[in-house]
Amino acid sequence: MGMPRFERPRTSSIGTPVYHRRRRDWKDDRDLIEEVASSVNKLRGPYQYYEKGVFAFREKVKLFRKSGYENNKKVFYLGMWIREKISEISRNQGSYDLRVHALSFPQNLESAISQIEQKITYNSNEAKAEISLESLFPDANLRSFARERMQVLHKGDLFAYLSSLVSKEKESLLTNAASIMDLIYICEYKLSLLKVDIKKRYSVGETDLWIPALSLGIEIRNSWNSKDEIALIRTLSDTNFRLQSRHLVVVVPDDISDEAFDLLRGIERRQVIENLSIIRVGDFENYVSKIREIEEKRS
């Protein structure tokens, strides 16, 4: 039996749950804390069961389960602390598995959580003290317009007005093609961090980005509908044919629903295109690093 022509990174080695990286709502905090708790409570797992910090974490989880995760500030701050620790492990290890890599719980976990709360509160108060309409809108006409809108819509609350503007931009990005450019910029930025040269294709029948050094085609999708499958497969197949690519990846937003992502991943699972991986943008940098390792082994 011959060797396969293409080698892809294993999905388990690059895919991480979205809630490991960012918080969308309280359920992400709950899922993250409960995932860590399952490792903490595992027999012969990575944690010392009676170590002081580990014991404090287990006691906190018991309280959360009793009082509820929703609208619980302590849950929010503990989730933030865990994500910071995961980010440190990821930077040091390259990849991680919470079932194997233990978080380093401080002996005084309550103090660590309180420090995060104090830092956030302090930064927020500092920002409120420094930001003014004059500093944000030097142009007098624009400032006058902003002041009027702020008074009419938000009773003069500058931060509520700014929050509303950001929310509207987010909704706009999620509902039209601008979000595709946003994803492309994110991918380009992460590639620049890895010092990888990019060629923008924007050619009919080819992927959005092409990385010659890695023989990698990158296609961006900001949403998914099963009706799009034929067009996507055609683009990927044509890229393979024209550029003789060894690797293809479809990158989607972190915010794409689990249902839509699973439907899209069906193309990969069926091996319609054998050198294809489908990932969320949060896993893109890790994916490219894995491809680089594969290419270095070839040379």
User: Does residue 219 share a domain with residue 281?
Assistant: yes
20/277 Cα distance (integer angstroms): 21
Per-residue pLDDT, averaged over 47-70, amounts to: 92
Span of 11-15, 50-54, 213-217, 283-287 with lowest mean pLDDT: 11-15
Q: Is 60 exceeded by the pLDDT of residue 285? A: yes
If one counts every other C-beta atom within 10 angstroms of the C-beta of residue 47, the result is 19
Token digits for 115? 């420090």
User: Does residue 188 share a domain with residue 143?
Assistant: no
Q: Is 60 exceeded by the pLDDT of residue 174? A: no
**Structure confidence by residue, pLDDT tens digits, 219-272:** 999 889 889 999 999 999 999 999 999 999 999 988 888 889 999 999 999 998
User: Does residue 204 share a domain with residue 167?
Assistant: no
Q: What is the pTM of this model?
A: 0.60
Structural domain contains residue 39: yes
User: Does residue 191 share a domain with residue 149?
Assistant: no
pLDDT value of position 38: 93
User: Does residue 279 share a domain with residue 183?
Assistant: yes
User: Does residue 230 share a domain with residue 257?
Assistant: yes
pLDDT value of position 53: 92
User: Does residue 184 share a domain with residue 167?
Assistant: no
User: Does residue 227 share a domain with residue 181?
Assistant: yes
Q: Helix, strand, coil shares of the chain as percentages rounded to 5?
A: 60, 5, 30
pLDDT value of position 158: 77
Structural domain contains residue 1: no
Structural domain contains residue 3: no
User: Does residue 181 share a domain with residue 294?
Assistant: yes
Structural domain contains residue 8: no
Q: Are 133 and 139 in contact (CB under 8 A)?
A: no
pLDDT value of position 87: 85
User: Which one has a higher pLDDT value, 89 or 7?
Assistant: 89
User: Does residue 162 share a domain with residue 104?
Assistant: no
Q: Which structural domain range is residue 39 located in?
A: 13-124
Q: Is 60 exceeded by the pLDDT of residue 22? A: yes
**Among residues 124, 151, 186, which one ends one of the domains?**
124
236 CB-contact burial (10 Å; exposed 0-12 / middle 13-18 / buried 19+): buried
**Structure confidence by residue, pLDDT tens digits, 105-152:** 998 999 988 888 887 665 555 555 456 777 777 888 888 888 888 877
Q: Which residues, at least 6 apart from 31, have a Cβ–Cβ distance to it below 8 Å? A: 17, 19
User: Does residue 157 share a domain with residue 117?
Assistant: no
**Structure confidence by residue, pLDDT tens digits, 189-207:** 889 888 998 887 667 788 9
Structural domain contains residue 92: yes
Q: How many domains does the chain have?
A: 3
Average pLDDT, the chain: 83
Structural domain contains residue 2: no
Q: Is 60 exceeded by the pLDDT of residue 179? A: yes
Q: Is 50 exceeded by the pLDDT of residue 4? A: no
User: Does residue 145 share a domain with residue 38?
Assistant: no
Closest CA to 224 of 251, 258, 260: 260
Per-residue pLDDT, averaged over 147-161, amounts to: 78
